[in-house]
Amino acid sequence: MLDGRLHLQTPEGITLPLTPAGAPKRALAWLLDFLFRLIFGFFMFFLINLPGFSSGVEQGLTMLLLFLLLWAYPVLFEVYGSGMTPGKRIVGVQVVRDNGLPIGWREGVLRNLLRAADFLPMWYGLGLLTMLSNSDFRRLGDMLAGTLVVYRPQKQKSKRLQHGTPRELPFPLKPEEQHAILDFVERAPMLPPARQLELANLAQPLTGLAGEASLRRLQDYAAGLTGATPEPAPEKPAP
């Protein structure tokens, strides 16, 4: 089953799903970073030219600025910004080690040094091809440093379930089946009405009812599963 995710197992037996980010998002992040560097570089260049240094000093400072923007910018931001340069932060991706841990100096420096190889023969041609052919969208630098670029986990919006009176399930359900019922009740308002009834009919072995009644019964089950109280929830007494 294709999932687009990596399921990492921690020693505690917890599965961490990581979603590697594909070439388009990463290209976008690079473009944003490039623009930021360009703007900052021009600004600094202007500042360097302002005090009227001799041409040698000006040239030296400019070279230093270019060097830092090219090599220090991604490393420093990734090491100190929890794997995110400003562009990556905006796009919503993050560099992590391939075991899910945050990256350190070794990984940050290696993957960015290898940019030179990925850049070959021109404009990241090699990097793009390796990214397209690798199953985790890694470019050469990522392979060497053992890093991944993954989507930052989004905060899940908690949706309000439709109210139902909590009701016990008629027979025990597996966790994934319970999730499916909750999902259905959560997403039912977004489905076309006819499709809602169709799915509710599919749940007949569970509810023993058909159509609208089955849908309402599923809502009751969902309320029972989440432990939601029937009508406007009264404030829980503080422990």
Partner 1 sequence: MNLDQLQIDARPRPHAQAIDLGSALLREHARTVYLTWWAIWLPLGALIALLSPQSLLVWNWLLLWWLRPLIERSTIFILSRAVFGEQISVKQALRAWPSLLRLGWLRSLTWWRPIMVGRGLYQPVWVLEGARGELANLRRRVLGARGAYGSAAWFGVICAHFEFILQFALISLLGIFLSSAEQINPFLLLQDEFAAGRWENHLPLLTYLFSAGIIGPYYAASCFTLYLNRRAELEGWDIEIALRKLARRRSSQLAPALGKSVSKTISKTLGVLLAAMLAFAFPCTPAEAAADCSKLARPDQRTASRSASANPEQARLRQSIDQLAGSEEFSNWECVEGWQPKPKKPEKEEKDDRDWEWLRKLLNADGPKLPVADILKPVFIALLIILVAWLIYRNRKLLGGLLGSDKDEKGFVPAAEICGLDIRPESLPSDIPASVLALWHDGQHRAALALLYRASVSRLAHRYALELAAGFTEGDCLEAARTAVRNGQISKEAGEHFTDLTRIWQAAAYADRWPEIATLQQLCQRWRQLHGGAQ
Binding residues for partner 1 (CB under 8 A): 1-4, 19-25, 27-28, 121-126, 128-129, 132-133, 135, 137, 151, 154, 165-168, 170-171, 173, 176-177, 179-180, 183-184, 187, 190-192, 195, 199, 202-206, 224
CB closer to partner 1, 90 vs 199: 199
Report in angstroms how near the CB of residue 228 gets to partner 1 at its nearest. Answer: 11
DSSP per position, 29-73:
HHHHHHHHHHHHHHHHHHHHHTTT--HHHHHHHHHHHHHIIIIIH
Report in angstroms how near the CB of residue 52 gets to partner 1 at its nearest. Answer: 27
Report in angstroms how near the CB of residue 101 gets to partner 1 at its nearest. Answer: 22
CB closer to partner 1, 15 vs 59: 15
Report in angstroms how near the CB of residue 234 gets to partner 1 at its nearest. Answer: 12
CB closer to partner 1, 41 vs 166: 166
CB closer to partner 1, 109 vs 182: 182
Tell me the C-alpha distance between 172 and 201, whole Å. 20
Report in angstroms how near the CB of residue 205 gets to partner 1 at its nearest. Answer: 4
In terms of residues, how long is the chain?
Answer: 239
Tell me the C-alpha distance between 28 and 114, whole Å. 19
Report in angstroms how near the CB of residue 185 gets to partner 1 at its nearest. Answer: 10
Report long-range pairs for 85-89 (Cβ below 8 Å, ≥24 apart). Answer: 85/29, 85/33, 86/32, 86/33, 86/36, 87/28, 87/29, 87/30, 87/31, 87/32, 87/33, 87/34, 87/36, 88/29, 88/33, 88/149
**Residues in contact with 216: Cβ distance below 8 Å, sequence separation at least 6, in sequence order:** 164
Report in angstroms how near the CB of residue 175 gets to partner 1 at its nearest. Answer: 11
Cβ contact 198:234 at 8 Å = no
CB closer to partner 1, 58 vs 136: 136
CB closer to partner 1, 168 vs 235: 168
CB closer to partner 1, 79 vs 91: 91
- The encoded tokens of residue 160 equal 């309000």
Phi (first) and psi of residue 15, to 5 degrees:
-95, 125
- Cβ neighbour number for residue 211 with a 10 Å cutoff: 13
